[in-house]
Each structure stands twice: as structure tokens, then as C-alpha cells.
Structure 1
Amino acid sequence: MTRTMLGSRLVNVGDGGLAHVTGVDAAAEVSPHAVGLSASAVDSIWGGVESLYRSGAFPAITFCLRRRGEIVLNRSIGYGRGGGPGETHGPYARLAEPDTPICLFSASKAMTAILVHKLAEEGGIDLGERISHYLPEFTGGGKHRTTIAQVLSHRGGFPMFNVAAAESGPETLLDWNRCIELICAAPAERGGKRLAYHAITGGFILAEIIQRVTGMAFTEYLDTRLRQPLGMRYFTYGMDRRSRTRVARNYVAGQPVRFPISMLARKALSADFEEVVEISNSDYFMDAVIPAGNLYSTAEELSRFYQMLLDDGVYGGRQVLAPETIRRAVRPAVSLRFDHTLKIPMRYSEGFMLGVNPFGLYGPMTGKAYGHLGFMNILGWADPSRELSAGLLVTGKAILGGHLLALGQLLSSISWQCRSL
């Protein structure tokens, strides 16, 4: 074991063989005993992160775990750039750091949803109102009855649109106005009844409502309602040019994606798996605002967001969200049932993927947890029963492989070591 000093105590940074690629935010981490954990419990959790890295699917991992509002782990492992599959660690390789920004992909949906709930809190919208009340053109294909609440819980009836029909292919996802046109014209699929994850489409419609009602750019609303009140450095859609050299690069990893999984992935992502990864590293992707898929954050910032939700909307003595707003946002809206996009049983609130007993997205016996998954294996979540909030960010994009077992073991370790109340 390799250890480093943190104040007056030693902090385990894990396997000595990985110490040279491990970064520790020593100033932030508190003693495990201060939050009801043992040192061995924290070591076990971090060991799970190391095992996840050793699976080979993730060139970089950043992880932040809060317990009872205090940071017990805020660390990185691996290379932010220059350490992907088949790459040598040349002169331009750069280690990831705990404060390295990484694209959250679909984990961004939780922030978009909370902004919609915030606008409802402010009296700007009614979540039970039809979308066409705010976007009159949203009537194509029988969607005129679809409500905001239905979109938040993935029952809007427009889970995907055919980007291939547009002249520019998947780059259309970076054209806001064109996306709104395509979505408004798309036919509905049993709106309000059929559960089907809206991978990209729902975010654009929800953000467009915010813009129409407030007269503000979506990113400005985010900035004033979340980013500034929470004191975030990044935590915004897209990335400014000054900060792009710090962004971790995404890589295709894991086993090759073949039919039928490749077909399902393409339908959900509106582009081929490899193409999505390639586009995500481009300047034009970072120039764009994709409300369901390109918020950039550190693991600590993601954990901070979920901790604010755990703390009834309070951060730094300031009421960021009303407690009743959070209660509605995390309340189950859809019981566990088959999701026709993801092809697995899912349980949703109006904006979050919910935990499941005996085992769900956030580990074993996490039925009270809420958060969101991002492409692929990115996770941000809060578990009120364990008084924890966490952010797990990875740069390898892998569907199948041994990393799934390592991920399950890590989530199990977090759940078992942070005992339920």
C-alpha cells in the first residue's frame, strides 16, 4: 500500500502499482471516522475503483464520495489524454486529476430536469401542462396532449428521431433549431403510456420550454440557478475554449459492439457507437449545447450537486431549491417496468433514474437512491438511506466486457461499507 499525508494522518492511495497514475485531493478528504466509516471501509471502496481501472475499459476514472456531507474520497486514476487503447504514453500524455472535467453525456439529464422543476417552483410553468401550451408547434403526430411531466419521466412518446433523414447526419444533434423542428414533426408513440427512454429528444424540448418562458439562454438559466449558487468551476453545457485542454478525452473501449447491440445503440444515440465517441472529442461538440448530453463536470461537482439535493436544496447557507421541489423531482413517477428503448426494466421519477431493490443501478438495496447514468458507466447519485452522494466519471466507452463485474463490485462495496440507516 502507498500512503500520503493528509493533515496529521496517512491516506491510503491504494495499490503501489497504481500510485504513479493516482491523484488525491488530500486537502478535501476528511477522516473516515468523522463520518461514521472505518479506514478499512474507505480503503475497500477505493480498492473497488482500482479494480475498475484494472479492467482496462477506462483510461481515466475520477471519483468523489461524500458521506454525511463531507468528502471522504476525491481521487483520480489513469490518463486524461494519451492513455487510451493502443496509445503509448508519449510526451503529450497527461494524467487525469481529481478536478479534471469530463463530459457527463446522459447524466446531464438530471440537471436539465432540475432546472425544469426550478422553473415550476418559480411559477413559470405547470409540470402537468401540455407542452404545446408553451411550444405551439409541438403538435405533430398526435403529441398535442403530451405533458411536461410525461417527458420528464420518459413517457413523452418521442424517444428518438431519424437524424439520418437530415442532410448533415449526426451533426444535426449539434444544431438546436433543427432538432426542435425534427422533434416537433415526429409522430407520437403512445404518449403518456409507453415507457421509452428519451436519450436525446426530451432534453431539447425541456430546455426550449425554459428558453421560451424565461427569455434566457438555457445556459444562462443554468448558470444563475445552479452553477453560480453551487460555486462550480465547470458544470455547464459545452466547454469554453480556454478550458478544453483540461477536458479528458473519450475512447472506444471494451469488447467490439456488434449486432444486435450495435443496432440498439444506434437507435438510442442517433449515430453509430464509435461515431458518437469521435464526435464527443471535437471542438464543435464542445461548442454546442445538448441539454440531454454534454454537460461537463468534475466528479466532485457532480457529487456536490447531489449533496445539495440531499440537504433539502441548501448549499453554503443558501436555499438553492425548495425542499418540496426536490421531493417532487425524486418521487417515483413510473414503477419498475420494461423500458422500450433501453430494453431493460427501469424505474423513473420526473427526471431521475431510481434505485431498485434488491439490486439496481446504484448497487444492492438502493431502492431509495436517485441519480442518473451517462454514456457509458458514468454515474451520479444520492442515497438518502446511506447519507451519501457520489460522482463516478469514466472516459472509456464500453458496453460489454469484464468492467461490468468490476463496476458491480464497486457499487456493492459502496452500499455495504456505507451502511443503511
Structure 2
Amino acid sequence: MGISAPIAITGLGCLSGAGMSLPESMENMFRKQRYPHPPRRFSTDHPVSYPVLELRDEFKLPLDHQETVYARTSQLALAAALEALADAGWTAENLRGKRVGVCIGTTVGCSLNCDDFYRAFKDAGGDPDMGIIQRFLRSNPAAVIARQLKLDGPKQTVVNACSSGTEAIGIGASWLRAGACDIVIAGGADELARVTYAGFSSLMISDTEPCKPFDVERKGLNLGEGAGILILESEAVRKNKARGYLLGYGSASDAYHLTAPHPDGTGLKRALSEAFSVAAVTPEMISFINAHGTGTPDNDRVECRVLNEVLPGIPFLSTKGYTGHTLGAAGGIEAVFTVACLQREELPASIGFSTVDPELSATPVIKNTRISGDIALSESLAFGGNNGVLIFSKGDA
């Protein structure tokens, strides 16, 4: 794949267990604050209670009866998109006449995670209230944003496990490079649901304590929820300074296992190679890495092996200690954090890490760390062997 022109990022928005907005998230991470707790929005009869990182507060959207109009994933996506658009200086009104695309990654948001419906189906003799189904059919995350903002550009929802948000940003950038859009709203969103919580419990990869990415005592992940959105703009319409630039995107699969990465990280290496080629940068030019860093034994082992081989000695961190693993939203949220840290020229401590694992031969940053250089990388490793990589540079001075 050939070299591509940088894509301007003019707006950022996110909400997660780390904070209800990007400024609040950054403040909490640099204060080394995190808020794991047992699930509050649902309960299960599982004998073990695993901590999660839910939103600490509720958010209000400009919708009537929002809880019945759209599913929570779509509400999260819309909230982050509105924050990002405001950050970029756009309103729904001044987007009129622009070719605006929407590309959103999700996993939970594509599923009918409505236990109430299934229970009613069983208890009501197969004749439950169909309102839940109607809400689900209205709740395609990309379509919700396009509908609420009255956008008529391309829209796509990407479902590619935990790399969905990363893939959505890469696909959205390709629309701009192809001349199909003036602006793209891109990122990821996912809610925390009972079905997801129970599913990860059954996989036995959830930690009973706050997660510890890359630590020798790591035992698994904590689930989270949220959304992370970037506003990508063509130079033809851009009026404001860029908060950052998207230089490159790479995607590859290793097709090794349903849930485990290839032991040699072959898919991640190919995704990195493709992203470097598109961005026309070398590994030595990377100032830091926002790693996938789930806290599971397999993921962290394989990811560290690849970092040691391809990007040795470059500072890295996992922000999942603050947000939990937000699944389809993770790539979007971590892309937002990567651009924001480039702007700030500083990384927060990789929370949860205290003891080196001699098998990994690399350690994340353990305190707030100043960075030099203008280029950073965010990577996602997903179930099914999917791997996505984004390379960003610092924005306008």
C-alpha cells in the first residue's frame, strides 16, 4: 500500500469509566484515579462479583425519552460525537451542505442484549411487548448519529470484535482520501451489558480485582463501557487548527484462535508494517505506544513480545486500567487518548502495574511521563485474530 496524505483531526470526544468527558478523563488519569466497582446497572447470580468500570454519572442527550428511543450504545456514541463536534467548532446547522460520513465500531451495540425481552417472551407465552425489538432496530450507532444530525453522507457500523473502533477510524479516513466525504465522524461505542459480563465470566479471563496490565500478577481484564469519537476533516473544509493528524492505518488477521492471539503476534506485526508503510514513518520515530494491554496473560505476553521485537525501548502504557476493556469502543477511546497525550506531551502512569514479569522483558510507564517527539501509535488486538493499528502525529501549534 502506498503512502497516504495525513488526515486532520479537529475534534475529540469521549466518555467512559475514566470520566464523563475528555478533559475529565485526562484529569483523572493524570491523578491516577480509577473507579472499579461491582456492576450497578444489572445483577447476576454468578458466585463471583467482578469489578467493572461503568460511567459514574448519567448523561443527558437532546432527545425526548432517550432511554426508550435508542439503545445505550447508540446514546454513548451520540454523546461522544456531540462533544467531538463541539470541540471541532461544528454544529448540526453548519454541517448542512457538507458531505459528512459516520463510521462507528461496536460489538455489544450490534446485539440484542435484552434479557427482559427474552424473559417476557418465555413468561408471556411467546407474545411479549415488541417495543424492545423496535428500539433495537432503530439503534444502529452510525445511523443514529446520522439521523439525529441530519447527515446524508456514507454511514457504516463496523463489528470486528475489540478492534472495531480502530477499524472504523481507518475506514473513515479512507472515505476522505477517496474524496467521498468532507468530514467523517469516526470512533467506537459499547455499553456494559449483563450478557457481556456473563460471557467474559464464562471465559474465565476477568479479574476479581482491579486489572493489572503487564504485571506479573495479572489475572484478567475488567469490563467497561463508553465511546470515543474523532472528527476527521479534509483540507477543503477545514477552518480550525488540527488537534492531531492521522498518518497511517494497518489491519491484519492471524486467524489463529477464536479468543487467543497468535503466540508470535504475526497478525499484529503485519498490521504494524502496513501502518508504517502508509504513514511513511519508521519505528524509531514513534514517541510512545498506547498498547491494547487488557491484563490477560496471553494478550500481554504476545503484545510485549511484538513490542520488544518491532518497537524496542519505546515507552508504552495501557489505559484500560482507567476505562476497563470497552470492547468495540476501546480503539476509539484509546485513539482519542493518544492524540490528547501527544498534545499534552505527557503520558499518565499505566495504573495497576507494580511488579515486573521477567517473561515480558518490558514494562509500561509507571509514573506520569514527559514525552518528546511528534508521532505515536495506538493498537488493538481482538478476538478472532483481528489486529488494527493507527499512527498519529501532533497537531498544529
Fold-level similarity (TM above 0.5): no
